[in-house]
Structures are given as structure tokens and as C-alpha cells.
Structure 1
């Protein structure tokens, strides 16, 4: 039997899979011998040359179609070659994409579903994508998939909603240098829009935070994971908006990088920080009354319809746990309990009410468990930027189990709603981390 070779023919940005051809030189010899023998036999039986040629071609075509029917699974259900598939180079990265036959076979056998697993690659991951018809059923196959891939199950990252109708399994590749931070750039920032460049996703696309959609951002991670760099990149991004933002920094950690920022207000004193938050809350209340009288619902509508000079106010608190902490025995003994209560009350109230007034809060915390940041406060952060965490419990608390395996210095998971993106953080001085 002549067997087809599974080939991949590249034409620019197109890929055609499973082209039919003999696989070896002996296959070509067998094909030639078969054609010669068929023509000779038909001629000996008295057939005209034309009839012999037609008979030979018919026999070959019949055999080829039978073979294609038997092996159609290799072509994702197609009898003839699967149609040309357009690749997105930014998604594929430096390697070629295609169907992962082994994992496809495994999932079809174990789930009974007609699934197809496509594999693409970034520098950091092999990315296996599959239709999320039965996501929980697929997720339960991770132990078997890890054995098939020869990778510990703990190293696999399951993303249920990777894209429209897709789930994904991320398989790490051992390229530590490819997790280094990317240089910060303002090329993705737009005048009149509060877009912040966070970094680059594992598929090579820019990751942006739109403050119009998500006013408040919570940044989580261990010391040295990239939280402060994220603050600095955020400040640089909003300054590129051309909207003349006011920058307020409340820095209980007394961070050298934040001290150097040209802020409208800076303090590392918690008492002063609480007083500033109360002042800002009063400003937010005044703004909302003014917006309501003007017939506007929020800061952005007021800027567009009434006053293009209305300033956005960005409040950076690093870190929130120190700002809110109420269990320091020595401070409580010194009569600081009222101050702790004020900090908690102003943060809870402000986070709930200032989202429409043009005041945007960015908070940093090492772990977002309830003992560090109360649930009432944490739940008001619509966007979360999660860097490497100390352990699995901290990762789960942050809302991203894969965070425990992230590299230090910039590896992140960015979450908004049910969507999450993994990537490398933007550093203003990326070369310092190399």
C-alpha cells in the first residue's frame, strides 16, 4: 500500500496540513512500478492506450480516496486536505503552530468528545487550546495530560476562558531569560484616554488597563516580584494621557522609587495618609454633586461635555496592609485605635463611592488575604495585577492559582472580571533586571 506522508507546507502566513505524497524513495518507486504494471496488464488485455491510462488513473484515485477516508481523523475530519489555516504570527511566537495529535487522541478517548487540541508557542509556554464544550471534564484530564507530556501536573496552568469559546493549558518552557521584564513604552497610550501599559502577554501582545472600565487596581505579590515597578509604570502611563493627572502617593513602605516620583502629594506617614484620603473623599463628594447638577453621570462624561480641564486624581497606596492594619499591639497601646478605625472606614467608603468621580485608586499588598486587606475593600478593586506569590494559599487568595509559579521580577497574571492574561511586566529600567 502506498501511504501518505504527513507533511506541512508553508506559504507565507498560510499553513496547509497533511499533503498527500509518498513518504520515501521506495514509495515513489512502488508507485511508478504500479502504474507501469497497470498499463502493461491493460494493454495485454487488448485495451487501447487511452483506455489503459484511464483505467490506471481510476484505480489510483479510488485507492487514494479510500486511504483518505480511513485516515480522515488526521485531517480534523476532512476527506481532502484540511483548508488553509491563517496563522497570527503574534500568537504563534517563534515556533510553528498545529494540531497536537497525541493530546487530541487522549482527550477524545477519555472524554468521548470530538475535540481538537491546537498547539502554539510563545517564548515562555507551549499553549494548548481546545474548545471549552465541557471545561470541567477537560480539566479533570490534566493528570493524564501531564503524564503524556512528561511534565509535572503542578507545572500546568489551566485557563478555562482563554478566548472566545476556548480553554487553554499552558505548559512552561525552560527559558528563564524570556521572562525578563519588557521596556516600558508610551506608544500604546492615547491622548484623552486613561490607558496604562502593564506589559506584554505570553502571546506577544501589549497588555493594557483602561481606567474608564476598571477605575481601581489591586497589585499583589512578594517583595521583589514587581509591584513597585508596576506603580511607576502606571504613573508614567497616565502622565502620557495629556489629561494633567494629579498624583497622590501614600507610601507606608517608604519606597525609594516612589519617593523619587514628582507627585502632587507624597507622605510615608499613615496619619497624614488617612487625613489626605478624607480630604480626597470630600473632593469626590463635591464632584459628584457638581456632575449631577450638570446632567452628567461620571467624570468622563463631565470632561467631554462640560470641562475638558477636569483633572483625574490617581491615588497610590503602597502598601494597603500597613495603611489599614489594626492589630499592632504597640500602636493600639499608644492610643492609635481611632486612627486604625478611620483608615478602615475611609478606605471602605471611598472605594465604594469615588469610582465615578475621577479618583482612581491603585493599592499594593503582598498577599490579599482578609487579615491584610478586608474583603469589603478588596472586592472594590475591579482589576487585579498579580505577581509571584509566596505559596499556593497566597496565590489562591489573590484569585490566580498559577501565580505561585510565576518568575520574579515582572512575571504577572492580569485579571479583569472573568478574563485573565499572563505575561511580563513593563519596567522603566528593564535592563536593570537583566
Structure 2
């Protein structure tokens, strides 16, 4: 009976009820992230450029860790949809075990590797110093971020999106307070600058991981045992990696291509790096709602497919897609209308402002394509159709986004706008492929678990 109630809870819950806490959580995260950038901009534009530069690496690190929650989420939703609750609990335990191992290993590798890579960049020495400081501290303690992501994924898989929202909002609030202490020297504390911001970030992630773990332990349905933490169940590791590695493959490819694209952008100077950082911060307000809908859609699709309701998933995902794209275009329009005011919140530098304004019209096409991808791809993966979106993503990331960035920006001499046009071409191409893939129903014959 308890298993049936769980299945009914997720399958019968309207998407909006699962999605709205995700929307709020992501918007709060963006708001806090924007405040981060705003606070750093008051400290130094070079600090903003440094953190923007290193973000490409820290996101890549998180993508590597995302292998675990990706595999766990798809496995959990399918097991829960099929009513196999005990298998779901075992997957939760194994996911936590794996992310600790992966987090410690990759965190230390990145902590020592990134500063060496930064020596190869043609950037200002102060920007390089700031970037190295942030990268070392953040990477070394990234295991806490990994734990938070896994625990949040577990809660969401059970339909507890509101709980994850509240905890992550608390953690982000702590991060802002820590940033203020680091940058403004409140209560007589020393001004630590970028180093202090990095310390604040990892401290808030640690707090979030602890609170999330406590919350899971308090909920009867999502609670799982952590006895014998060193016992490795190979079949469960294989289950998570079998799904998680290829699903993360698309993100790994995208982030690697972004690193190359950032190298292209650095050839245009510090102003271009800062402009890209500010632009991406603004655009996140557009696509985060689509990402929220995509995450909720993935949860629903996983439960549907686990329960054998593929036809229901087929019809509903089209509705989810139309809603997500419509919202993205609406927000893009609002931001375009108030583009000068938005940019002024981050910088008053005329050169940086001019660069951002020149590419704003292209962002409509960029966000349309992105909204399609962040909704349809997770649904394909939740159904068990993993390799097609990964293969298409890898091809498009490199042969369209990266290659055309070089051709448009360097060969044709279009500069910064050439990079944004190439990124838009990539998103639209992949989005078109994903729509046709979903419509083909090939994914109905795939199995995730």
C-alpha cells in the first residue's frame, strides 16, 4: 500500500506542483549568484573576470560529480515508478558513497591542476592570481557540493522538491552573508577578497549538505541506511555508472567546449571576459525556468516509464516543452526591453556594456534552442534513451558551437558576437534533433533499469 501511495503521489501530481519549488529554488540560486557577481564587481572588475574565467572549470568539476546524481535520479524514479522501493533505498545509499569518493578524488586533482593551466592563459597577472586562489579553495572542498547535489536529487526523486528548495535557499543565504564578511570586513574582520568568497562558498555547501542529510533522515519514504559505509555493492555502482556516465557525457562535452570557447574569448581582452560573465549571469534568469520544468519533467517521465506508462509520457512531454519555450521567450523579451537597466546592475563600464548590448538580439535564438534541449533531453534520458542525445550533443558542441566560434570570431573577424551566434546555432540544431527523436517514439523501446 505504501508503494502504491508513493507511485500515485508522483504520477498524479500536476507538473506545476513539482516544478514550482524548482523554479523558486533556481531563481533564488540565480539571485544569490547575481548578488555574488554584484558584490565582487564592487570589489574589482578583475575579480569578476577571474571568477567568471574559473567558473568554466568549477562547472566542469561539478559535471564530473554530476555523474552520480544523474545515474541515481533516473534509477530512483524508474524503481519508484515500478514500486521497487527497497532497490531505490539501496541506490540512494550507494550514490552518497560514490559521490564522497569521486568528490575527494576529482576535487584534489582540480585543486592542483587548474592553477597550472591558468599559467598558459594570456590574461592579466592579477586576474590569474584571483582565479588560482578561488580554484584551489573551491576544488579542494568540492566534495560538500557533491553531497548536496546527491541529497537534493534523492529528495526530488521522491517528489520532495519543496524540501530541497528550502534547504538550498538557506545555504545560499549563508553564502551571501559569508561573502559580505569576506569583502566588506564587517565586525573588524580582515578583507579577504576572492579567497574569502571561495571560503564562504565551501562553508555554505558544507552547511547545506548537513541540513539535507538531516531532512532525508526525517522523512519516512526517502530515509535510507548508511550502515557499513565502506561496503561496496558492485551491481549498484554499475547501475549508477551505466546511466550516469553517458548522461554526464553530454554535459562534460559541453563544458569542455566552453573551456575552448573561453580561450577564444580571452583573446579579446579582460573586457570581453567580464562581458561574457555578466551576459551569462543575465541569461540564466531566462533558461533556469526551462531547466526547472525539465527537471520536473524528468522526474515525471522516469516514474511514468517505470510504471509502463510511456504513452502518457509521450503526450505530456510535448505540453511541457511548449510551456517551457513560451516562458523562456517571454522572459527573454522582458530582459531585452530592460537590457540597459539589467546591465547597469553589474557594471557601468562603457566598453563592457557595449559588448553585451551588441549580442542581446542573438540571445532570443540561443534561449529558444536551449529551452528545447533542457526539457526534452532529460526526458529522453529518463526513459532510457541515453546514447542518442549524448552523441548528438558531443557532435554539435564541437562541430558547431566550438568550430563555428573560431570561424565566426577569429577567421571572419566578427569578434565576440560571432561566439554567441555559434552557440545559438548549436542549441537550435540539437533542439531540432531532440524534438524529432521524441516524436519518433524510439525511446519507448529503451529501458533505464
- Between the two structures, name the one with larger relative contact order (CA 8 Å, sep ≥ 6): 2
Q: Which has the larger radius of gyration?
A: 1
State if a TM-score over 0.5 links the two structures.
no
TM category (shorter chain) comes to under 0.3
Higher strand share: 1
Tell me the TM-score normalised to structure 1 length: 0.21
**Greater helix proportion:** 2
